[in-house]
Amino acid sequence: MDNDNQNETENKTPKIPYAVFYKEIKLPEENLSKEEVKEKYLLEIQGEYIELKESENILNSLFFFDLAHKYCPELVFINKTGEKFILFIHHNEPIIRDEKLKTKLIFEKWPKNDKEIEEKEVVFDLQDKSDNDIRKITRKIKSKFQKAIIKGGSILMILSTFHSLYGFAQEVYYQDKNNKLAKIR
């Protein structure tokens, strides 16, 4: 068989789904800097499928999420009640999944946004939003902006909104209940 026919045959072969094992991560409650999160977790998570347990420390969660987004193929978030949500997938391999895994909040990679920056600053106030409102919020993201501020809301809403800002916001900040800003990315 010549090379062209061999490549054609290989491309038509269906991919066999496989099971993955998730590395479970529980973040510490004490504050870590972005650099400390990177130093502590980078080697441990590189190339791994991750399950991130909900933490009271939102900044640690955001710093870890940003690190995992760069180095992991997939991240599943586990809330306090044990529900699991896929927050991102950076591969197209077929995977056998637990039927209880909630996939309704999956965000595909947004198309590359080559538009000019249209707005200086956009605030995403998630205070009175439910986890079901995330699609409404992220549909509003249509242009690039210099600075995004995320405030309030559940950790699931915050992480989902943060993920949807990749490619659109040059800088992302989290504003806590005391109006203190922390740069995430």
% of the chain surpassing 70 pLDDT: 78
- Residue from 35, 80, 33, 75 nearest 56 by CA: 80
Q: What is the pLDDT of residue 59?
A: 94
Residue numbers of the chain with a pLDDT score lower than 70: 1-12, 102-119, 130-132, 138-140, 142
- Longest CA pairwise span in the chain (Å): 69
Residue with tokens 């504003």: 175
Look at strands 117-125 and 169-175 and give their pairing.
unpaired
Q: What is the pLDDT of residue 17?
A: 82
Q: What is the pLDDT of residue 111?
A: 44
Alpha helices in the chain, H assignment, sequence order: 3-12, 34-45, 58-71, 134-139, 155-164
d(CA 54, CA 39): 20
For the chain, the first-to-last Cα distance in angstroms comes to 51
d(CA 64, CA 184): 10
Q: What is the pLDDT of residue 165?
A: 86
Q: What is the pLDDT of residue 85?
A: 87
